[in-house]
Amino acid sequence: MKKTAKYSAWCIGLCLLSPLSIAEQVIDADVVIVGGGLSGLAAAVTAQENGVKTIVLEKMAIIGGAGNYPEGSLGIGTRIQKKEGINITPEKVFERVMEFHHWRVNAPVIRTLLNHSGETIDWLEDIGVKFKGIKTTFPAEKSLYTWHIYQGSGSAAIKVLATTFKQKGGEIFTETPAQKLLFDEQGGIKGVAAKNSAGETIIFNAGNVVLSTGGFASNKEMLAKYVPDINTRGMEKVMYRGPEVDGRAGDGINMALSAKAALAGMGTLAGNSPYLDDEPAIYQFMGPDHMKQARAALSQPFLWVNKHGERFYNESAGSNFSDVYNALTANDGLMYSVFDEKMKQRMIDSGPLTPFNAIVVPGQKMTALDEGIAKGLKTGYAFKADSIEALAEKIKVDPAKLKETINKVNQYSDNKYDPDFSRKPEHLVRFDTRHGPYYALKGLRAFFLTLGGVKVNTHMQALDDNGDPINGLYVTGQDIGGLYDSTYDLLAEGSASSFALTSGRLAARHIADHKK
């Protein structure tokens, strides 16, 4: 077949070669996958493994999207868990997940994704993805131990998936955004119209289309339409932005709407807070040590205050970013983390009291923290003063109120009891009120994923308003809606990336089993 558009090959990092302009502008395939992230590539490899001729369309120049950034993915009953002596069942995880969401979710789909999550992790290992092992941010009595940490983050998995797909004969077209779904005279799916970087329209004929475009986190109009203003206001500075993730514009959801698909949970976000003001969240998450350690310091359980200089949250639970996001939403999306010189030195010498995900963990010395604070003093997310009153003035809170709050916390430290929010006794550290300097880090809400999208069944087929499947149309990953109620379930650690991978594989299997 004469190719009509440029197709990709690996170059440095995750960058793929641009499509080559060619004469023929029609390409035939069994399935077209719109989006080259975790779910799209998992679907692509699985389809190609099962003899289904597959093409992936990626609108960006770099594949992977937000799938480049997960630390790990949920899996149940994996070889890794068995090796580590972890015995967890889908029944147990399902019970906890449904309790968290109060059953206001698509229970059959969630159970299906959990049931197949372990085989997804094992399959990733089989094709060459490497894992460090199981990690958790929860105490032993609470953790489900499902979080499988990648060696090299999600980007390493993306590279293995894309390489495997190419080796099996699949093609990835980068800088080739899908424009619209194509329908036959009976209204059935017959392919996708796309446009390459030269502006040429390419028709991809296929009886099956998988929409895997990562949600709509980069689409301000859709956020304004579907998400209450209180949940998006003021987060632009710290939201996940970058060349890989800016493509999350709701393309898949809008294409599904053109096929009369139904939506679910469109107002739900995966809140991820707090993040340092004026610094992109990805930079704090994946950047240099001084940024990661400054972000870790922001969430330490010393003292968090709102714009009034008052506590508003149990600082011991600072690692639960979904709950922190909700608490910040109730406090105008703003907080200050306050600590003294002794507390700062404790982080440098001994590490954090609580983890920042699996990025900066207890026992890991924060030797780059001073550099992170120095940067913040210049850019505006860090503040330093010789007295509590002077620090209060710099962060624009009432000096008397901040001093009152610190004195109250010191009393709690003496009594080893927090009557306000039940902070853990070991986190009730006393402030030195006589000797400075004192520090404050400014934190804002952020979110990293939208969690609303298209209603699907257990085969990941898009459903219409009657709950009937739209033949030939599949939806995976963050384009699916109804998997979360009001917020992300952090207890099911790694669920978003796991659901993305597993939904892609299940969609591809169904296509292979019902190949047109």
Over the chain (516 residues), what is each successive 10-residue block's mean pLDDT?
A: 39 42 77 98 99 98 92 98 97 98 98 99 99 92 95 95 98 98 94 95 98 94 86 66 77 98 96 84 85 96 97 94 90 95 98 89 96 97 98 98 98 98 97 97 90 98 98 98 94 97 99 87
In a domain, 416, yes or no: yes
Please name which of 274, 281, 286, 293 lies closest in space to residue 375, comparing C-alpha atoms. Answer: 293
Asked whether residue 293 falls in the same domain as residue 356, the answer is yes
Q: At what angle do helices 107-115 and 117-127 cross, to 10 degrees?
A: 40
Asked whether residue 250 falls in the same domain as residue 384, the answer is no
Asked whether residue 403 falls in the same domain as residue 427, the answer is yes
**pLDDT score, position 246:** 80
**pLDDT score, position 15:** 46
Asked whether residue 409 falls in the same domain as residue 507, the answer is no
In a domain, 183, yes or no: no
DSSP-assigned beta bridge partners for residue 441: 337, 382
DSSP 89-116: -HHHHHHHHHHHHTT-S-HHHHHHHHHT
**pLDDT score, position 343:** 98
What is the C-alpha separation between 69 and 38, in angstroms, rounded? 10
| Whether the Cβ atoms of residue 215 and residue 479 lie closer than 8 Å to each other | yes
Of 392, 416, 445, the position where a domain reaches its end is: 445
Give the 3-state secondary structure of residue 407: helix
In a domain, 241, yes or no: yes
In a domain, 47, yes or no: no
Asked whether residue 238 falls in the same domain as residue 285, the answer is no
**pLDDT score, position 285:** 81
**pLDDT score, position 241:** 64
| Whether the Cβ atoms of residue 238 and residue 281 lie closer than 8 Å to each other | yes
Asked whether residue 295 falls in the same domain as residue 400, the answer is yes
- The two three-digit tokens of residue 512, written as one number: 């292979």
In a domain, 398, yes or no: yes
Of 445, 460, 479, the position where a domain reaches its end is: 445
What is the C-alpha separation between 331 and 327, in angstroms, rounded? 6
Please name which of 478, 359, 450, 460 lies closest in space to residue 38, comparing C-alpha atoms. Answer: 478
Asked whether residue 371 falls in the same domain as residue 315, the answer is yes
Asked whether residue 267 falls in the same domain as residue 280, the answer is no
Within 13 Å and on the Cβ side, how many CA atoms surround 286?
16
Domain count, the chain: 2
- The two three-digit tokens of residue 456, written as one number: 């699907």
Asked whether residue 76 falls in the same domain as residue 118, the answer is yes
| Whether the Cβ atoms of residue 158 and residue 129 lie closer than 8 Å to each other | no
- The two three-digit tokens of residue 511, written as one number: 């296509």
CA dist 457 → 28, 206, 365 (Å): 27, 21, 47
What is the C-alpha separation between 75 and 492, in angstroms, rounded? 10
In a domain, 146, yes or no: yes
Fill in the DSSP letter of residue 10: B
In a domain, 191, yes or no: no
In what order do the strands lie in the sheet containing 178-183?
Answer: 26-28, 201-205, 189-195, 178-183
In what order do the strands lie in the sheet containing 72-74?
Answer: 72-74, 147-150, 131-135
> What spatial distance separates the first Cα and last Cα of the chain, rounded to whole Å?
20
Per the structure, the complete domain to which residue 366 belongs is given by: 275-445
What is the C-alpha separation between 285 and 275, in angstroms, rounded? 9
Of 445, 476, 499, the position where a domain reaches its end is: 445
Asked whether residue 428 falls in the same domain as residue 471, the answer is no
- The two three-digit tokens of residue 482, written as one number: 């109804």
Please name which of 195, 74, 181, 218 lies closest in space to residue 472, comparing C-alpha atoms. Answer: 181
**pLDDT score, position 242:** 64
CATH number assigned to the domain comprising residue 366: 3.90.700.10
CATH number assigned to the domain comprising residue 85: 3.50.50.60
Asked whether residue 84 falls in the same domain as residue 138, the answer is yes
Fill in the DSSP letter of residue 315: G
In a domain, 181, yes or no: no
| Whether the Cβ atoms of residue 302 and residue 326 lie closer than 8 Å to each other | no
- Tell whether pTM > 0.75: yes
Asked whether residue 90 falls in the same domain as residue 143, the answer is yes
